[in-house]
Structure 1
């Protein structure tokens, strides 16, 4: 399931789209996310030829390092005499990973904000040339080919439905399966120390500017002190080795907790798509996780809940009683 970013359509964008749907003065509208909060019109271009040929104007709107949407107006109209549009979703390979994720999760917001009834289809691409006239023809031919999909192609299509970007008419593709940022050496060292028992807690974060996994904290804490380590304004990943007793035995259980308090949209998405890869790094170092948790704030990290999940109460077995055999063995009763 894809998650909405919460970013909204500006009044200016809605007005431009509505006016252009009724009139023929604008061929394409370039849209970008501003201040992590709103979808704004960046630039428009006017038609110069037939609409199929005017796709050659689209690459002039695109930057190789910045993701963008383009609403492209055709000369076709619906029953209400409004123009029909293509939604072009452009996410270049060189743009930041977190931007790829935010634009992926905002596409639905854009469609619902302007009304999807006028959108014919969506085209995804990672190069500007994916959206020129030759790219549009290639995309259309692919759509009309109706050939059976391979298992890999089906998987990629499912990823697109989940809100992840897919290359369009060109040969390039861009997928966000989960973010595999490089890991700082102190993170690896701390995981090794956790496994060895030298520490029982470590906190992992993400450096969004340099796009890497970093160590934020490590040490030894009682379980009651662990929530105090959780920041209340940024997500984090936490590993905690809890030594405790259960049924008279000493047990060491490793918890992997993803805490995600209220914080900027980009940061939340960056952490959300990195949690599986952080877990994989721990697994590679031999850290076996016994319980995974996801919480919004430190108050949800409760010993009682953790114990119940690690050691659920055993179901009582019902005792069955055999019926006594009749004296003298089996007897037949005649009526």
Structure 2
């Protein structure tokens, strides 16, 4: 089974996964020669918390790895996604884009996932903090509380529709979306990359949570192959065609997609852009947000046209994206102006 990054499971790893038993506490998995390979075993000695200190010898300070950790009381497996802060950018992207293939190859889905960037994250203290975080109620912002009240009112009235979000993609704060950890790490890694690449995200049905879909090292002209032409989606593309690399936020909203989906993505777009800005280094996120109803038009010309016009706007007004503050609209005879 190959991942979107082209990484596949080695026969040795398939065999190791098939032979895991209750005596195994940790199985380290690494990427070598474009394959996922077993890279170390550790037998259970005590509880999981007691055994975590063994990871000090299994893991390296600046080299990513996955670790399958057997939970206590036959509760399944914990997948540790270890991507230390000092890792090479390419390695960060590679491990982020391969995680899905590894998860699908496991005998059963992991009971829990722990994202670690330091050794402290995978210590007994760090794991205890992780468990506390899982049990803690998630605080809601004022906007999220408002949306919960709206949904509760809809349920009480027996409705399946929601009010039109306002103001949505073209201004205001819109709907606040919670990001999963994998997406945050992938976008941060993209912001440190020198080469072109993309991270895509979607809103999880029913939860209004923004989740990681995939990451790939691709050029601007290959971008269209990663964007759905039937469903709305968000993408972050590291564009290198300007004077310096910039991460460009793209909201793709195919005109044939269901209206309810378009409303939800439109309402969430502004907050997604705002969150991305807080995750990336200052100035790394392009100030101009791009929207398209036809993902097939995405390419190097698209970016030159749109980001070029943003530069012209800056030189005229002194403010990036001055004007409405909304999303840039790709030009062309096939597009309608609003």
Length-normalised TM-score, structure 1: 0.50
Tell me the TM-score normalized by structure 2: 0.49
Higher helix share: 2
Q: Which has the larger radius of gyration?
A: 1
